[in-house]
């Protein structure tokens, strides 16, 4: 798989990474351990060298899984993890105090079975802790060699600028896809100006853009999408038009909807690296096939024309979580 550089950081990663959250958190029952290890190793064999986890995924179990699965190829991969939730539990609120950051990193290193974290994200901006203090705490860890690069997630333009002034931000991770394009308004211009890479999560709209989800789909009881407004039955019905248009374009390219959605993201900027997640080996191979799918200027124009006629409806987070983004 081709490599990309995240902004001006010098951090080289595969054009597509793997979002690992769903292996053990948020999308129903965790994948059986041996199957998860097998999938992670298959991703590496297919050219993926960029793996995204967090202490909050599980909590904790996702990092342990990644550490075990990637141990044989540790020096050939880039691991990204995150701090920022109290006790690794989003429901307990935010905590980016410097002492907490250090404690989280030490614990993450042990779970990952490694001596360094290539990319450490602040999971969400904590309004109780100035971002300058957060960046300063990570800077100390960089100086000690425990962290190689600093990232932020779902941060607003002002917070990105302030943090970047203390310690260069290598990458921002936020949601971005054909059905969530808000970053184009303010975030992408700031990232381009400052030389920061962009790592879109949920690049397939939490599965919706694949065409595998419709108004009648039933999610597992503990699936996060049950509380996401955009996934209400009414909104899934309203948003089906986007999937239809994507399918027509995909058919014309001899590709799948997922591959076109990922290729579209890759075509936006050379410093964008999506991290689709999956628990299914055939979906993993399908997603990775997008890295070699080239969309022409005519393809991109056709997609733009089609999108201009579609109004995507529904918030992407329930209200109690929406307050934590774009700070």
Digit-by-digit pLDDT tens for the chain (327 residues) are: 999 999 999 999 999 999 999 999 998 899 999 999 999 999 999 999 999 999 999 999 999 999 999 999 999 999 999 999 999 999 999 999 999 999 999 999 999 999 999 999 999 999 999 999 999 999 999 999 999 999 999 999 999 999 999 999 999 999 999 999 999 999 999 999 999 999 999 999 999 999 999 989 999 998 999 999 999 999 999 899 999 989 999 999 999 999 999 999 999 999 999 999 999 999 999 999 999 999 999 999 989 998 899 899 999 988 888 778 888
- The CA dihedral of 172, 156, 270, 50, to the nearest 10 degrees, is 10
Q: Is 317 a catalytic residue?
A: no
Catalytic: which of 57, 60, 121, 176? 57
**Residues of the domain holding 142:** 3-211+268-292
pLDDT of residue 322: 79
Q: At 200, is the secondary structure helix, strand, or coil?
A: strand
The first and second tokens of residue 255, run together, are 């590709």
Domain membership of residue 165 (yes or no) is yes
pLDDT of residue 3: 98
pLDDT of residue 208: 94
DSSP 207: G
pLDDT of residue 48: 98
pLDDT of residue 324: 84
Lay out the sheet containing 117-122: strands in order across. 18-19, 50-52, 78-83, 117-122, 147-153, 169-175, 197-201
pLDDT of residue 210: 95
Q: Is the dihedral of CA 103, 108, 110, 115 positive or negative?
A: negative
DSSP 24: T
Neighbours of 6 (CB within 10 A): 28
Gap between the Cα atoms of 211 and 264, Å rounded: 16
Domain membership of residue 105 (yes or no) is yes
Q: How many domains does the chain have?
A: 1
Domain membership of residue 323 (yes or no) is no
Which alpha helices (DSSP H) does the chain contain, by range?
33-45, 61-70, 98-112, 131-143, 157-166, 187-194, 233-253, 257-268, 281-289, 297-308, 319-322
Which alpha helices (DSSP H) does 167-232 contain, by range?
187-194
Domain membership of residue 245 (yes or no) is no
Domain membership of residue 217 (yes or no) is no
Domain membership of residue 244 (yes or no) is no
Residues written for the chain: 327
Domain membership of residue 186 (yes or no) is yes
Q: At 215, is the secondary structure helix, strand, or coil?
A: coil
Gap between the Cα atoms of 138 and 40, Å rounded: 28
| 175 closest CA partner among 158, 150, 155, 149 | 155
Taking phi first (over 0 means left), then psi (-120 to 50 degrees means alpha), and beta for anything else, what does residue 36 get? alpha
CATH number for the domain harbouring residue 133: 3.20.20.100
186 near 159, Cβ under 8 Å? no
DSSP string for residues in 63-131: HHHHHHHHGGGGGG-EEEEEE-BGGG-GGG-B---HHHHHHHHHHHHHHHT-S-EEEEEESS--TTS-H
Q: Is the dihedral of CA 40, 44, 45, 48 positive or negative?
A: positive
Domain membership of residue 119 (yes or no) is yes
């Amino acid at each position: 798989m081709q490599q990309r550089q995240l902004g001006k950081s010098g951090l080289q990663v595969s054009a597509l990474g793997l979002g690992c959250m769903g292996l053990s958190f948020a999308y129903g029952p965790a994948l059986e351990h041996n199957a998860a290890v097998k999938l992670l190793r298959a991703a590496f064999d297919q050219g993926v060298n960029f793996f995204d986890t967090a202490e909050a995924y599980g909590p904790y179990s996702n990092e342990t899984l990644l550490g075990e699965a990637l141990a044989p190829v540790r020096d050939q991969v880039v691991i990204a993890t995150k701090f920022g939730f109290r006790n690794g539990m989003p429901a307990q609120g935010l905590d980016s105090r410097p002492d907490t950051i250090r404690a989280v990193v030490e614990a993450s290193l042990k779970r990952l079975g490694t001596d360094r974290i290539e990319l450490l994200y602040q999971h969400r901006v904590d309004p109780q802790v100035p971002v300058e203090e957060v960046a300063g705490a990570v800077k100390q860890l960089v100086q000690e060699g425990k962290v190689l690069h600093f990232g932020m997630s779902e941060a607003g333009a002002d917070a990105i600028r302030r943090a970047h002034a203390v310690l260069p931000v290598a990458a921002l991770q936020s949601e971005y896809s054909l059905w969530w394009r808000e970053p184009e308004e303010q975030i992408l211009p700031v990232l381009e100006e400052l030389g920061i890479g962009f790592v879109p999560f949920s690049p397939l709209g939490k599965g919706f853009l694949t065409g595998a989800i419709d108004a009648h789909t039933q999610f597992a009881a503990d699936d996060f999408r049950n509380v996401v407004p955009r996934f209400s039955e009414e909104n899934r019905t309203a948003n089906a038009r986007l999937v239809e248009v994507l399918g027509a374009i995909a058919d014309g390219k001899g590709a799948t909807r997922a591959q076109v959605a990922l290729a579209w993201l890759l075509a936006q900027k050379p410093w964008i690296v999506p991290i689709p997640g999956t628990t299914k080996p055939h979906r993993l191979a399908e997603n990775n096939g997008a890295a070699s799918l080239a969309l022409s200027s005519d393809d991109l124009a056709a997609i733009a024309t089609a999108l201009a006629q579609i109004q995507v409806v529904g918030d992407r987070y329930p209200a109690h979580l929406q307050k934590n983004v774009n700070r």
